[in-house]
Amino acid sequence: MHSLFQLPCLLVGLSLALVAAKKPNIVFIITDDQDLHLQSLDYMPLVQKYLTDKGTFYKRHYCTVALCCPSRVNLWTGKAAHNTNVTDVMPPYGGYPKFVDRGYNDDYLPVWLQNAGYNTYYTGKLFNSHTIFNYDNPVAGGFTGSDFLLDPFTYQYYNAVLSRNGRKPVSYAGQYSPDVIAEKAFGFLEEAMADEKPFFIAIAPIAPHSEVSTGNFSQPQYAPRHADLFTDYKVPRTKNFNPDKPSGANWIAKLPQLNETVIAYNDEFARCRLRALQSVDEMVEGVVQRLADNGILDNTYVFYTSDNGFHISQHRMHPGKTCGYETDINIPLIVRGPGVGVGKVLDAVTSHTDLAPTIMKIAGEELREDFDGLPIPFNEEEKGKIEHVNVEYWGRGIPEGKYGFEGWVLNYYLNNTYKALRLIGDTYNLYYSVWCTNETELYDMTRDPDQLHNLATPEVLSPDYEISGRNIEHVIARLDALMMVLKSCKASSCTDPWKVLHPPGDVTDFPSALSTELDTFYEEQPKVSFSKCELGYIVESEGPQIPFVFGQGAGDSGMYVQEGGEGQMTMGYRGDWSAWT
Ligand SMILES: *[C@@H]1O[C@H](CO)[C@@H](O)[C@H](O)[C@H]1NC(C)=O
Ligand SMILES: *[C@@H]1O[C@H](CO)[C@@H](O)[C@H](O)[C@H]1NC(C)=O
Ligand SMILES: *[C@@H]1O[C@H](CO)[C@@H](O)[C@H](O)[C@H]1NC(C)=O
Ligand SMILES: *[C@@H]1O[C@H](CO)[C@@H](O)[C@H](O)[C@H]1NC(C)=O
Ligand SMILES: *[C@@H]1O[C@H](CO)[C@@H](O)[C@H](O)[C@H]1NC(C)=O
């Protein structure tokens, strides 16, 4: 029994132990093009056993650009793609050279973590256009140990080439790439666990990305031990699966229905993806067991996610990503670790922009002022309050698979530049997008989760249809103004966009913006539009950039004056956007 005066000593002892405790370790597993909506996670029993059942599944997690390289740069910098301006997989608009040119190689998450006292490791695919020619010019920054898959071999499942710690690339021809990455991950893990410092290790296998060997995108290859699996699997026959009527807008609305040959090919394509993921599933077990064997599992966060989602036959589309539809942007995120709910599903709205801030918080570091996101909540008590995800895309659509590839020749998918917005709250669950052709889409995701009834088209625009008690016209006016803020937001204007429109802070979310008193203010906002479809972020082709700010009059009037108010003209204020940051 402890006497009363021993208690303070006990507490001092305890807090000293806490101070001395190592910062938590972080394992970050990122697959390539893994879907949530085709149910791939259901076919990964070890991910379920070691991660989902022991951690939290974020059912509303989104990527902000549905394309590998821009999404990964967004992830590892915590900045929106319109701020990184890394928007494509290759120069001039993206790829590793653009990432380096923009100065991020010395200023992104692994560098910050090293400064925070971490050993950092990475194996697998970092970015596209990271090649056997530029891997050491410069070497990717910020890693204690690295072994990177390099182009043009990145997506060749049995012909990988990797560069270890900046050295000359080595061929792994004949070995199964995801298995090679698993072995390398285990090696780095042993190295990390042998050192005193806390560690961060990112594991980035290519599964279930398409095989890209001969310039085209064919079904992914799997290891022979998984060849007999999932022979009965078919892509879920949701309402948007190869629908009888065309859906969507722009090039998607022009797609012909897929015939039975293509559907059969696509189902097999999906089975190949599930088989390719089995190597990753086994790797997850290997990682968690090693952490447990070393007694550090309880002080380690394990993240599992993908760079972007994937569609197969939805909206009549060939396999691929690059779209704003839910299949492409709502992606797996599972986290386990200290303070993270066990066996929980969170419906907080989170995005890849939030993960670098989350990891910095885990590392006990101050959040950077230029982060465009916020740390994600780890349990229901921490419930996040962000209702929006800002989605953007520049460039082509990329149809994959044998039949999809045929469409390339026609340049059919050229005009795939768009802005989109996901907005989720108690009484609304919306997807709004504006294409570079000026076409718009609005889906009520509660009543139409398949995104088949575009409420923004005149045929569907019904005066009786209400969302959160207001009709579509008023809803769109708010969504468009919010998009106007988000499409060029920086830092706090990304996390708190309503404050840009309403600086006093009296309008903090979509329902408060829907007030009838604000109808004129929102109707008269400049609208999001494009003058041209570009393949990159050419701001001159992206229409008005700055919304009117409520309560800030033009010039001397001092107030935003609504129509009819004291006989004055309706005026808005073109804010200085440098003031937003
Ligand atoms: C596409 O890939 C397949 C399988 O890898 C190959 O047989 C075919 O020749 C390729 N087609 C083109 C146009 O490169
Ligand atoms: C099905 O569609 C594909 C792709 O357009 C085409 O190549 C093929 O000839 C079609 N097959 C049949 C049986 O119509
Ligand atoms: C989109 O709308 C804007 C504003 O009305 C117009 O200036 C622009 O030319 C349109 N763009 C296209 C691609 O039609
Ligand atoms: C792409 O959009 C432009 C407008 O920017 C339009 O003139 C052109 O016809 C579109 N091309 C296709 C293939 O839809
Ligand atoms: C983004 O990069 C492209 C290619 O370098 C450049 O043309 C464009 O102006 C940049 N956009 C912005 C907004 O800086």
Q: Do residues 296 and 380 share a domain?
A: yes
pLDDT at 127 over 60: yes
Q: Do residues 37 and 181 share a domain?
A: yes
Q: How many CA atoms lie within 13 A of 550 on its CB side?
A: 21
Q: Do residues 366 and 441 share a domain?
A: no
* Residue to substitute in 216, 272, 400, 403 for testing ligand 1 pocket (most ligand atoms within 8 angstroms of CB): 216
Tell me: the pLDDT tens digits for 410-461? 666 789 999 999 999 999 999 999 999 999 999 999 999 999 999 998 776 6
- Of the chain, the percentage scoring pLDDT greater than 90 comes to 86
pLDDT at 19 over 70: no
What's the pLDDT at 568? 31
CATH number at 342 reads 3.40.720.10
Structural domain for 542, as ranges: 417-579
Report whether residue 537 contacts ligand 5, using a CB cutoff of 6 Å.
yes
- Average pLDDT of the chain? 91
Ligand 2 centroid–CA 202 distance in Å is 42
Report whether residue 525 contacts ligand 1, using a CB cutoff of 6 Å.
no
Ligand 3 centroid–CA 132 distance in Å is 43
Q: Do residues 116 and 27 share a domain?
A: yes
Cα gap 428→448, rounded to integer Å? 12
Q: Provide the domain count of the chain.
A: 2
Residue 196, domain member (yes or no)? yes
Alpha carbon of residue 412 to chain centroid: 26
Alpha-carbon dihedral sign for residues 74, 481, 246, 437 = negative
Residue 9, domain member (yes or no)? no
Using pLDDT thresholds of 50, 70 and 90, give the confidence band for residue 408.
low
Q: Do residues 332 and 471 share a domain?
A: no
In sequence order, the β-bridge partners of residue 388 are: 423
Catalytic, 489? Answer no
pLDDT at 465 over 70: yes
Residue 8, domain member (yes or no)? no
Cα gap 205→181, rounded to integer Å? 6
Atom of ligand 5 nearest to the CA of 85: 1
CA distances from 116 to 112, 142, 370, 376 (A): 6, 12, 18, 20
Q: Do residues 340 and 466 share a domain?
A: no
Q: Do residues 166 and 274 share a domain?
A: yes
What's the pLDDT at 572? 34
Q: Do residues 252 and 371 share a domain?
A: yes
- What lines the ligand 2 site, CB under 6 Å? 259, 261-262, 403
Q: Do residues 358 and 427 share a domain?
A: no
Q: Do residues 326 and 433 share a domain?
A: no
Any idea what the Cα angle at residue 269 is, between residues 266 and 275, rounded to 5°? 150
- Of the chain, the percentage scoring pLDDT greater than 70 comes to 90
When pLDDT is averaged across residues 287-303 and rounded to a whole number, the result is 98
* Residue to substitute in 415, 530, 540 for testing ligand 3 pocket (most ligand atoms within 8 angstroms of CB): 530
When pLDDT is averaged across residues 82-93 and rounded to a whole number, the result is 97
- What lines the ligand 3 site, CB under 6 Å? 437-438, 529-531
Tell me: the pLDDT tens digits for 146-186? 999 999 999 999 999 999 999 999 999 999 999 999 999 99
Atom of ligand 3 nearest to the CA of 437: 13
* Residue to substitute in 214, 219, 406, 408 for testing ligand 1 pocket (most ligand atoms within 8 angstroms of CB): 214
Atom of ligand 1 nearest to the CA of 215: 14
Question: Which of 366, 385, 404 finishes a domain?
Answer: 385
Tell me: the pLDDT tens digits for 390-399? 999 999 999 9
Question: Which of 364, 385, 406 finishes a domain?
Answer: 385
pTM metric for this prediction: 0.92
Q: How many CA atoms lie within 13 A of 444 on its CB side?
A: 18
Alpha-carbon dihedral sign for residues 391, 330, 205, 197 = positive
Using pLDDT thresholds of 50, 70 and 90, give the confidence band for residue 570.
very low
Q: Do residues 173 and 125 share a domain?
A: yes
What's the pLDDT at 299? 98
CA distances from 573 to 30, 278, 342, 493 (A): 44, 56, 49, 17
In contact, 572 and 549? CB cutoff 8 Å: yes
